[in-house]
Structure 1
Amino acid sequence: MYNELAKKIIKLVGGEGNVHSLVHCATRLRFVLKDESKADTTKLENTDGIITVKRSGGQYQVVIGNDVSQVYQAIGTFTDLTSDSKKADKDQQKSGNMLSRAIDVISSIFAPLLGVMAGAGILKGLLLISDNLGWLDSAGTTYTILYAAADSFFYFLPLLLAVTTARKFNGNIFVALTIAGALLYPTIVTLFEEGTDTSFFGIPVVLMKYASTVLPIIFSIILMSKLENICNRFIHQSVRNFVTPLILLTIMVPVTLIVFGPLGVNIGNGIASGLLAVFNFSPLLFGALLGGGWQLLVIFGVHWGLAPVFINNIAVNGSDPLKPAAAASIFAQTGAALAVMIKTRNKKMKALSGSATITALFGITEPAIYGVTLPLKKPFIAGIIGGAVGGAIIAQAGTKAFASGAPGLLTLPIFYGPGGEGFPGLLIGIAAAFAVSVILTLILGFDDKTETNIDKKETEDTLTLQQNEIISSPLSGRVTALQNVDDPAFASEAMGKGIAIEPTAGKVVSPIDGEVTVAFKTKHAIGLTSDHGAEILIHVGIDTVQLDGKHFTLHVQQGDRVKPGDLLLEFDMEGIKAAGFSLTTPIIITNSSSYISVTRTEAAKVEIGDEVINLMLREITEEKIS
């Protein structure tokens, strides 16, 4: 099952050749694609086993849910995308804006560690509870052994981050581990603890405590990877395997201790201090904002930016007062999904919301958000309000996190510290978040479409399934067969059937009554869905995504309603040609498999509004009605 899904995903993201890199987190496959226009988002979203697709932080994220690790492993059986090979293009890190690149780097570095981080965090929390309740003696060897198992992840975090950072930047993992090991070397630790004046060839070395730190080793390994590329370029291959590591260790360990260590620690402390200042100004307000907005951060993938802050607070202060408020958001969405399950009369939605409630309860909210609350809108809003209420209570109660891990039912022990201070407030807060979300969802309701309650518009739409749909030309020009397009993704019809037009004017208009479903930031392409269900991709030029919006002017936004003749976008034909790109414009029916046939016009030239594609629809089915 996983192999089949994995193969479909790789095919629909444009093939292995279209993938710069791939990592996964708890629920998502996080791709960095060379050309996102080659990915068939619509087909991916309609594939069994995929919850939804999101674009955020420079990543193309395929949300799968709890089975994501199995799908990731299946991808590794027939591609090189999950290996440690240096297959990714070196210009990958240059794509996107600074924020997008930062989010991509942080998520790629931390995502592989989520599972063991959660497990270690739970064990550490349980030990704290056992000590407080007198179940285990913290001075005993049993406790010491178990605590070593729990705390080793956090103490040796620089070693683990060295591995994931080296993988991200295609550096030598074993050299990276050696550099990280030097930061934790007993003699170096002793120099720091005894306050010994330390220098390197006369250069003062300000030693820091590097156990559990994040930024110093990340900065160091990024530079190491760049330096490694330079060394390998100039050192002969006969001696490269030992000369390059020699140079890297000799340079990078001192540089890390002299520069990146103090810099990284101080930056981390500075960011954490800033957020703590906001928290201390008003815990109530901070908790409400984080509790209400956490799921919005998750949707856009930017919650990763806070992970180093939470870890830094625990490493420096022994606890973190910021993260607990995020737990309210988890339980709020759980409550909203449960309320949908209680209220809906749609059997499919009842089953989906029921399973999503269970997974959300354990900290995996994507199935609940993307499959239930967000599509129904009002339950998602109820979840935000519930999260804000619960977050405010938790923050005001002074709850703290004493270990890292995704908030959920099993990870509650990470919030139980000495004496249990703040833990009752956490329980009250998550209960309030849960209850408020359930009650609000039941009161506000949602559009509950049942099998027996088909409104007039749905009935009219299903009747159109027995008719043909005509797609008019969105631009003027010379017609050519799609097979003639100089791009395998289009020519092979892997993205769907259609036609291509060599434009004679730089204007694209809507060919249908419908909605703008995709408005690419690079403005070179646009996706539409007609009122009768045709999904259309208009892609101006070949590889024009590389222009990053230059020579294009977009006149609509995602979600806009359009009618035939409405101006969608304009483009500078001469400017695009001068930049070396073809103007051939494919017009693709991306859901071609929904039709008995997709035929194109025989005309050699067309004007805007001329009929160019004829869609013969399948007969009405019981599944479509439901």
Structure 2
Amino acid sequence: MAELAAQAIVDAVGGPENIESLTHCATRLRFQLVNSELVDSAALDNIDVVMGSVPQAGNRYQVIIGGGVATVFQQINNLPAMGTTAAKSADDVKAEARSKGPRGKHAWMDGFFEYLADSFRPILGVLLGASLIIAFAAVMDAFGVQDFRAEVKPAGWQFLDTMWRSVFYFLPIMVAYNAAKKLNVDPWLGAAIMGALMTPEFINLSSRDDITCVTNEALGTQSCRADIFGIPLLLSDYGGNVFVPLMMAALLAVVYHGIKKVVPESLQLVFLPFLSMIIMIPITGFILGPLGVWLGGILGTGLAWLNTTAPILFAVLIPMLYPFLVPLGLHWPLNALMLMNIDTLGYDFIQGPMGAWNFACFGATAGVLFIAARERDAQMRQTSTGALIAGLFGGISEPSLYGIHLRFARIYPRMLVGCFLGGLTIGVGSMLLGTAGVTASAFAFTSLLTIPLFSPMSLYVIAIAVAFCTAMALVVITDYRTPEQKAEALARIAKQKAEGGPHVDILEEEEAQDGFETPAQQAGITAADAEPFLEAGAVATAVKERPRTQAPGMVPGTVTVLSSPLQGKVVPLKDVPDPGFASGAVGAGVAIDPSEGRLVAPGDAKVIMTFPTGHAVGLKMDSGVELLVHIGIDTVNMEGSGFKVLVSKGDIVSEGDPLVEFDIAAIKAAGYSPITPVLVTNHKKFGSIDARADGDATFGSPLLKVAAKGNQ
């Protein structure tokens, strides 16, 4: 099954020949395609492991997978058809992207945030692992097993600290490595330069007697200076600092590539790193290091001041901003500030309010899951289940955002109410308790597993519960879809039931016998009425199903002849310039290239579907045949121009009654084909459907012969 999913993804993005390169991040496959217009987004979203897809500029395409992205990535690479298509490294891919020039009006801004994201993204896994180790230690502290913050601990617990401190203390080296790699610089060079400020020799300078120290009262931190050949050197502890390596790598890229231009290639192995180090280590130590500490101090002081003087405003502002920052990748600077706070203060005050946003996000997803389960919508149920698990246990919001929330605009206002109330709970609770907000003892993905890291824990639990339940309740009560989207979804479910798909329980009779209507019945949609119309671009609003009796045309031995509703030349269905119609996926029948802009009823029927755009009509013939007449190809895009609908849903019509008037010249002038499919959409309920393959059709002339099942 896994290999089938990998193959399905490759097919949906246009096949191996359409893939220039493939990389992945924590939750997404990142395709660089030859032509992004070849992507079948609907097919992608229907693949079991796919939670959503995101088209981007420059033929880039992201496919949201979730926590199993690395496995899917490997499975795709292992496909025989892929060959060497995806063999390029991430560096090669990014270098090629840079060589193609700007990708938008604000390319420098896109590049900046991509630089931040790619500097952190590869280490998210170890950050999450370290935060869970800290969470375990915090639980042990809560149960009185061991004081988590004690300066002196037993050797075993001190060793446990090394497991998570290795990540957070040496984080600057990791960031420097990734940042340098992002800028096409030897990543080990970036790591070595940053590591120089974390050696015992550098740290021991702080123990000298001839240094001077200054205390930052706002942050409660101390910085010392030493005299190095007459030049003052700031002796900050750079463990956990992220601003300095980001600044260093950016300048290193300029120096590195500049040296590379003047040093002969035969000497670059030695002199390129040598010259880079003797230039960049002093610049980093004397200038960039202090500047990074100062900038971090300014930002930290400002946020600390806001958190202290206006805690309610701060607690509400953070969760209200995050839903807009995360989709744009603008949350990375705040993540850097969190790490800076932990490094300088020993705790962070941003993650608590951020938790209100995360759990409001997960609550909205839970609301979608509740509705999907109630409606037996396997597609949304699967998407929301995966996203909710990734959120509640991994603290990862992208599957929810890209797979669900950004697809349905009604979710955001409801989620923001949860963000607001969750943040307000933290702000008001902090004032009542006299605390500086909800703080975290380590950088953590805000999930159920990391709750013990937050203090006061009880206030944090109440706040995230308020955020989660509010968003979930609002989504469940008011729905996450517009009426049109809901009708479309229910039509899709009903169609799948009628076709014997995975949703066969939607309209089963036992629910009605128990006194309950299914959601599809509540919306007035039946399998018989709704099955074909989603493909036609309609909003399905068919009437409620009446008590079933066997239609005359379905009695064994019966043959029903349908008259032509149009005048023109008959076109075989396979020649229709639309793969959905030509394949027979929508229904069986023929098409007509009309010579007159008038559509009439082919027999006695009830109108079960009309369209605001006038481009199609659905009929339920008295014989039991269900007919869809779709005037032109892609004419829904004309938005009703050139069409005049003469009937309404529910009307009873007789053979020859006018249904729609349309302007053939206007259709052609708009660049669309007027070829009109005439389709029996419930063809699977009949034995055979014979169509005229050629010739001319006139109003009332025989067009289709429909034989009931059981005919010999």
Q: 1:159 to 1:334 in 2, by over 3 A?
A: same
Cα separation, 1, equivalents of 2:76 and 2:333? 27
**Residue 108 (structure 1) aligns with:** 118
Post-superposition Cα deviations, 1:35-90, rounded to whole Å, max 9, x if no partner, equal 86676656654555332233679975432222222234446664234455587234
1:66 matched to which residue of 2?
67
1:461/1:532 contact within 8 Å kept: no
C-alpha distance in structure 1 between counterparts of 2:24 and 2:535, whole Å? 44
Measured after TM superposition, the shift of residue 284 of structure 1 is: 1.7
Distance 1:168 1:325, change over 3 A: same
* Partner in structure 2 of residue 414 of structure 1: 453
1:173 to 187, 197, 201: 187
Q: Which residue of 1 aligns with 2:339?
A: 311
| 1:1-43 deviation digits (Å, cap 9, x = unpaired) | 36425644765798454x6x84513x22356779866766566
Cα pair distance change 1:233/1:51, threshold 3 Å: same
Contact 1:57 1:103 in 2 (8 A): no
CA distance in 2, matches of 1:32, 1:388: 38
What is residue 383 of structure 1 aligned with on the other side?
Answer: 415
Q: 2:317 is matched with which residue: 269, 272, 289?
A: 289
Matches within 5 A, 1:129-208: 129-136=139-146, 138=150, 139-194=153-208, 196=211, 198=226, 202-208=230-236
Q: Residue 228 of structure 1: CA displacement? A: 2.3
Hey, what's the Cα distance between the residues in 1 that align with 2:201 and 2:271?
Answer: 26
Mapping 1:133-532, distance limit 5 Å: 133-136=143-146, 138=150, 139-194=153-208, 196=211, 198=226, 202-344=230-372, 345-347=374-376, 348=378, 349-362=380-393, 363-372=395-404, 375-396=407-428, 397=430, 398-415=437-454, 421-447=455-481, 448=486, 449=490, 451=494, 452=507, 453=520, 461=533, 464=536
Q: What residue number does 1:497 align with?
A: none
Q: Say which SS state the counterpart of residue 410 (structure 1) adopts.
A: helix
CA gap 1:228/1:9 in 2 versus in 1, 3 angstroms: farther
Secondary structure at the counterpart of residue 461 of structure 1: coil
Equivalent pair of 1:120/1:149 in contact (CA under 8 Å): yes
Give 5+ residue unaligned stretches, structure 2.
79-83, 212-224, 431-436, 495-506, 508-519, 539-563, 566-611, 616-629, 643-666, 685-712
Q: Which amino acid aligns with 2:450?
A: T
Task: Name the CA distance, whole Å, in 1 between partners of 2:71 and 2:25.
Answer: 10
Give how far 1:429 is off. Answer: 0.7
Aligned-partner residue type, residue 346 of structure 1: E
Structure 1 residues 391-425: Cα deviation after superposition (integer angstroms, max 9, x where no partner): 2222443210111121111122332xxxxx42111
Q: 1:465 to 1:53 in 2, by over 3 A?
A: closer
Identity of aligned residues (%): 26
| C-alpha distance in 1 between matches for 2:369 and 2:9 | 30
User: Aligned match of 1:80 in 84, 87, 90?
Assistant: 87
Question: Closer, same or farther in 2 for the Cα pair 1:294/1:243, shift >3 Å?
Answer: same
Is the partner of 1:135 in helix, strand or coil?
Answer: coil
CA spacing shift, 1:228–1:272, aligned 2, 3 Å: same
The amino acid across from 2:53 in the alignment is V
Amino acid aligned to 1:122: L
Pair 1:85–1:621, CA change in 2 (3 A): farther
Distance 1:156 1:51, change over 3 A: same
- State the partner residue of 1:609: 670
The yes-or-no answer on 1:24 pairing with 2:34 is no
Give the partner amino acid of 2:472. V
Give me the whole-angstrom Cα distance separating, in 2, the residues matched to 1:351 and 1:22: 25
CA distances 1:432-485 after superposition (whole Å, capped 9, x unpaired): 1222223323332355525342757956735859999xxxxxxxxxxxxxxxxx
What is the correspondence of 1:569-580 to structure 2 with a 5 Å cutoff? none
Determine which structure has more spread, i.e. the larger CA radius of gyration. 2
Separation in 2 of the partners of 1:150 and 1:408? Answer: 18
Q: Within 2, Cα distance between the matches of 1:346 and 1:221?
A: 52
- Partner residue in 2 for 1:418: none
The letter for the 1-side match of 2:452 is: P
Query: Secondary structure of the equivalent of 1:136?
Result: coil
Cα distance in 1 for partners of 2:250, 2:679 equals 54
Q: Deviations over 1:217-251 (max 9, x none)?
A: 12212222332223333322322211111111111
Cα distance in structure 1, aligned partners of 2:77 and 2:631: 39
Cα distance in 2 between the residues matched to 1:184 and 1:54: 40
TM-score (norm 2): 0.61
Report how far residue 321 of structure 1 moved. Answer: 0.8
CA contact (8 A) 2:318 2:353 kept: yes
Verify the 8 A CA contact 2:312 2:424 in the aligned structure 1.
yes
Matched residues in 2 for 1:22 and 1:13: separation? 14
CA contact (8 A) 2:632 2:674 kept: no
3-state DSSP of counterpart to 2:364? helix
Quick one: distance in 2 between partners of 1:622 and 1:113? Answer: 55
CA gap of 1:611–1:384, structure 2 versus 1, over 3 A, is closer
Deviation at 1:564, TM superposition (A): 5.4
Bigger Cα displacement from structure 2, 189-198 vs 254-263: 189-198
CA–CA distance in 1 between the matches of 2:389 and 2:415? Answer: 16
Equivalent residue number for residue 52 of structure 1 = 52
**Structure 1 CA distance, aligned partners of 2:462 and 2:132?**
20
SS in 1 for 2:140: helix
Gaps of 5+ in 1: 416-420, 469-511, 516-530, 537-559, 566-605
What displacement does 1:135 show?
A: 0.7
The separation in 2 between residues aligned to 1:56 and 1:267, in whole angstroms, is 33
> Residues of 2 paired with 1:391 and 1:123: CA distance?
27
| 1:586 matched residue in structure 2 | none
Q: Which amino acid aligns with 1:384?
A: L
* Cα offsets for 1:118-147 (capped at 9, x unmatched): 110121232234235431365100111000
Q: Which residue of 1 aligns with 2:625?
A: none
Letter in 1 for 2:476: L
Change in CA separation of 1:374 and 1:186 when aligned onto 2, cut-off 3 Å: same
| C-alpha distance after superposition, 1:522-542 (max 9, x if no partner) | xxxxxxxxx999779xxxxxx
For the residue of structure 1 that corresponds to 2:449, the secondary structure is coil
Aligned CA distance change for structure 1 residues 255 and 532 (closer, same or farther; 3 Å): farther
Alpha-carbon offset, residue 187 of structure 1: 1.2
Compared CA separation, residues 128 and 340, structure 1 to 2 (3 A): closer
Instruction: Give the 3-state SS of the residue equivalent to 1:302 in structure 2.
Output: coil
Q: CA RMSD in A?
A: 4.2
